[in-house]
Amino acid sequence: MLTKADIPSWIAAILSWPALLPISRIALVSAFLIGGIQKLSDFNGAVAEQAHFGLEPAWLWAIAAIIVELSGSVLVIWGRFVWLGAGGLGVLTAVAMFTANSFWSMEGHDRFMALNAFFEHLGLIAGLVLVSVLSIRPQSEKSHEAFHDLQPSP
């Protein structure tokens, strides 16, 4: 448990900034938003991407990816049904982890790159879980007052 001595006042001030959580939610899903928009604007490229990773029928996987990336991102940013949006994005990320980053079947530099990407994706899934956990906390715990007790007394 954090105490006043565990956190510098300037850090507590940053963490209590009201816009931090919405900006962080946008940043968390930014890759999905950009990916969904790119796939939507170049559907043939999206289909080719799915086929490249062996996901068939590729057109169906491309449509599913677009829907999940865009709708999941909107739900996380909106702050409603975050569990649904983040859950969909997490499942999509897990599919990508195992299809695009099969480091266990690679060697050398390719293995190194795939291993890094695999665990970066795992970290992203953890971030989606955390944003879901935060979304179910009572609003008072998310407010500026939540960090007031962490700030050192003058």
Q: Is the pLDDT of residue 147 over 80?
A: no
DSSP letter at 106 equals: -
Spatial distance between the Cα atoms of 111 and 60, rounded to a whole number of angstroms: 29
The mean pLDDT value for 98-113 works out to 95
Spatial distance between the Cα atoms of 40 and 48, rounded to a whole number of angstroms: 13
Spell out the domain ranges in the chain: 13-148
Q: Is the pLDDT of residue 5 over 80?
A: no
Cβ 137 vs Cβ 81: under 8 Å: no
pLDDT the model gives residue 46: 98
Average pLDDT, whole number, for the chain? 90
Cα separation values, 97 from 1, 15, 52, 136, Å: 33, 31, 14, 27
Cα separation values, 19 from 16, 22, 56, 114, 133, Å: 9, 6, 41, 35, 18
pLDDT the model gives residue 140: 52
Name the pTM for this structure: 0.84
pLDDT the model gives residue 6: 85
